[in-house]
Amino acid sequence: MFVGNLPPDATEDSVRALFSEFGTIRSIHLVADVFSGKCRGFGFVEMEGHEARAAIAGLDGKQYGEKPLKVRFEDPRAAGKRRRR
């Protein structure tokens, strides 16, 4: 799943605590800034299908930090597409 609007101080442990109430987490990958090492505001969480759907229903739009979370299934079709300017 894609997880967006994470605060800069988010860690794998804090995201694990947030998602663990919905089931078993297979993996977490937060995208970090190369220079500061802080979270860039998004990442990916891997869970079983039914647990992922429960996490999306429970966490999408939930206030976490200053912004509401964006939690949705990753769209593999959009992964290789980039916007042209």
Domain-embedded: residue 9: yes
Domain-embedded: residue 81: no
pTM of the model: 0.84
What share of the chain in percent tops pLDDT 70?
88
**Residue 85, pLDDT above cutoff 70:** no
Count of the separate structural domains present in the chain: 1
Domain-embedded: residue 56: yes
| In the block, residue with structure tokens 């769209």 | 75
Domain-embedded: residue 79: no
Per the model's pLDDT, the better-predicted residue between 29 and 82 turns out to be 29
What is the SS3 assignment for 25?
A: strand
* Domain of 51, in residue numbers: 2-72
Report the sign of the C-alpha dihedral through residues 40, 29, 45, 59, in that order: negative
**Helices in 1-85 by DSSP H: which ranges?**
12-19, 49-59
Report the sign of the C-alpha dihedral through residues 75, 84, 3, 80, in that order: positive
Domain-embedded: residue 51: yes
What is the SS3 assignment for 33?
A: coil
